[in-house]
Amino acid sequence: MLGGVQFYLFLVFNLVILALTVWALVDAARRPAAAFVAAGKQTKQIWLIILGIATAVAFFSVPPPLGLGAFPTWLALLSAVAAIVYLVDARPAIAPHTRRRGGPSGPSRGGW
């Protein structure tokens, strides 16, 4: 019984890390390269490489039956760290330099 609960918690934990890395990768891909330079952060290409590797590691860390379980959990945690660093450090810094199309209520500023 306890082993089953632990397995499902482990599976959910890995899926959350995968979702986090995918979110960070998609967000970085949608931002203009000039925004990274204007904010004084690493280039867009470097962030895409870091987050792409992090997403691949998170994907291959998901345990069976949904994934391969090819990488150990500590590598999945490193991918989460990469995504979190992007989301809490780089993303807020580049957000003011990113143009977003405004809807009927005016320009969007992003955020929560």
Burial environment of residue 106 by CB neighbours within 10 A (0 to 12, 13 to 18, 19 or more) = exposed
Q: In whole angstroms, how far apart are CA 79 and each of 37, 71, 72, 86, 105?
A: 23, 11, 11, 11, 37
Instruction: Report whether 28 contacts 44 (CB < 8 A).
Output: yes
For residue 82, give the nearest of 64, 104, 58 by alpha carbon: 58
Q: What pLDDT score does 46 carry?
A: 97
Q: What pLDDT score does 109 carry?
A: 58
Q: What angle do CA 45, 53, 13 make, to 5 degrees?
A: 130
Summarised one tens digit per residue, pLDDT across range 87-112 is: 999 999 999 988 765 544 555 555 66
Which residues are CB-contacts of 102 (< 8 A; sequence separation ≥ 6)?
Answer: 108
Summarised one tens digit per residue, pLDDT across range 2-44 is: 778 888 998 999 999 999 999 999 999 999 999 999 999 999 9
Locus of tokens 């599976």: 11
Structural domain boundaries of the chain?
12-94
Q: What pLDDT score does 13 carry?
A: 93
* Confidence label for 67 from pLDDT (cuts 50, 70 and 90): confident
Residue 53 has pLDDT above 80, yes or no: yes
Q: State how far the Cα of 29 lies from the Cα of 47, in Å rounded to an integer.
A: 9
